[in-house]
Amino acid sequence: MTDTVTDRFLRYVVIDTQSDPSSSTQPSTAKQKDLGQLLVTELLAIGLADAQMDEHGYVHATIPSNVKTPVPVICFCAHMDTAPDFTGTNVKPQVVRNYSGGDIRLTGDPQQVIRLRDNPALADQIGNDIITTDGTTLLGADDKAGIAEIVTAAQVLVDNPDIPHGKIKLLFTTDEEIGRGVDKVNIEKLGADFAYTVDGEAAGHIEDETFSADSVEIAIQGVAIHPGFAKGKMENAIKIAAAIVDRLPKDIAPETTEGREGFVHPTGITGSMEKATLNFIVRDFDEEGLAAKEEMLKELTKSVMQGYPGSIYTFEVKEQYRNMKTVLDRHPEVVENAVEAIRRAGMVPVRGSIRGGTDGSRLSFMGLPSANLFAGGHAFHSPLEWISRQDMEKAVSTIVELAKIWAERN
């Protein structure tokens, strides 16, 4: 097989793999298995004899060690699904060759423009080949770029047995975009010691920290009565819910925070005069900050409810994921080896934090310490998503160098 990383990427993105948060199955959409079957076929053709897809849609494969000394088993992981935020049906990837600068107007919808002012990273792409959509769908670089890079790196390692490396596990997951990416992963069966999700953004970045995340559901039981006889009696649950949202501090919202600042974000409001439900996500890099924001929301709710003495409410907090830095700080070699691999691949390493989470957040607390490597994509979850061929090639080189470094240092 002579596929380049770009060949693979262009082949993968046209397969619709959007996940569905309303589904109770895993995978949440059967179409994710269409990509899974293709990946199994390609991995077998490369020479990974144990490549298979399980009942949950996960694809597993192993690159056997080619060194005699013991080396920790590392896993490279990426997710097959794309976000439900914007359609991923009938993706038509476009390649802007030898990008000369400026804005990129998308051919399928001229109103969609990738503007340089909104994408300063484009300034570093002069002369490169930029892959976009036609403006009517998302692209799916999140995370089909990561998959293409891992599979291409696997082919490089198999085709070049002189490159020393230990045993390497490949894992491609389903439903990451709806928070279920590793729900069914059997860590013991996977058999890896450390892992890297290839799901980051700009070339050269390695991320060892995520938000800690919880969800909050507030269920309100109001007082329903015929509106013609409601004076002094009705307590409208919808209005109560709206009052809670209206009182949220403006300075701890996603649209007003950046860097290491956390937030409280309402994600849904449903109901009727009698009953209403509010859903929130709460994010912070520190456990103390997360707890403080939840306590603030609880006190705010209690204050609003005091004005509605006939109504009752429940306040439920559910853990989603935790900051993987807590685990990775106990295994500094995971990040140190990645930093050296990025340097050997010709880039200046940039360590950073993710204002979100990855499969690695959950894997770390399941017993598999995991950092997040760049995949090269930008403007995820939108029709303005883009990635460059050259950055994908840098990711392939980084993965290969990382495999070598683990063998060298052990």
Tell me: do 135 and 168 sit in the same domain.
yes
8-state DSSP, 227: G
What CA–CA distance (Å, rounded) separates 373 from 385?
18
Q: Is the pTM of this model over 0.85?
A: yes
Spatial CA neighbour of 78 closest among 323, 353, 372: 372
Q: Which residue out of 149, 176, 199, 214 is catalytically annotated? A: 176
Say whether both 178 and 71 belong to one domain.
yes
pLDDT of residue 347: 97
Domain boundary among 293, 321, 349: 321
In this prediction, residue 14 carries a pLDDT of 97
What b/e sequence results for 165-196 when a residue is b if at least 16 CB atoms lie within 10 Å of its CB, and e otherwise? bbbbbbbbbbbbbbbbbbebbeeeebebbbbb
Beta bridge partner(s), residue 168 = 63, 74
Give yes or no: residues 193 and 228 share one domain. no
Q: What is the tens place of the pLDDT at every residue in 264-297?
A: 999 999 999 999 999 999 999 999 999 999 999 9
220 and 199 in a single domain? The answer is no
DSSP 139-173: --HHHHHHHHHHHHHHHHHHH-TTS----EEEEEE
333 with 245, same domain: the answer is no
Same-domain status, 295 and 188: no
157: CATH: 3.40.630.10
**Is 81 considered catalytic here?**
yes
Dihedral sign for Cα atoms in the order 279, 282, 288, 293: negative
Task: Mark whether 246 is an active-site residue.
Answer: no
Residue 182 sits in the same domain as residue 104: yes
State whether 133 and 179 are in the same domain.
Answer: yes
Domain boundary among 271, 297, 321: 321
Q: Six-digit token pair at 149?
A: 């890079």
Supply the CATH number for residue 284's domain: 3.30.70.360
Look at the chain and report how many structural domains it folds into.
2
Q: Which stretches in the chain have pLDDT values below 70? A: 1-2
Alpha-carbon gap, residue 39 to 52, rounded angstroms: 9
Sign of the alpha-carbon dihedral angle for 118, 123, 126, 129: negative
Domain end position, chosen among 321, 342, 374: 321
Query: What confidence score (pLDDT) does residue 2 get?
Result: 54
> 271 and 200 share a domain?
no
Catalytic residue among 81, 149, 207, 235: 81
Can you give the residue range of the structural domain that contains 94?
5-210+323-408
pLDDT in tens, 241-257: 999 999 999 999 999 99
- Shared domain check, 181 and 240: no
DSSP 97: T
Residues 311, 338 within the same domain? no
Which pLDDT score is estimated for 98? 97
pLDDT given at position 357 = 81
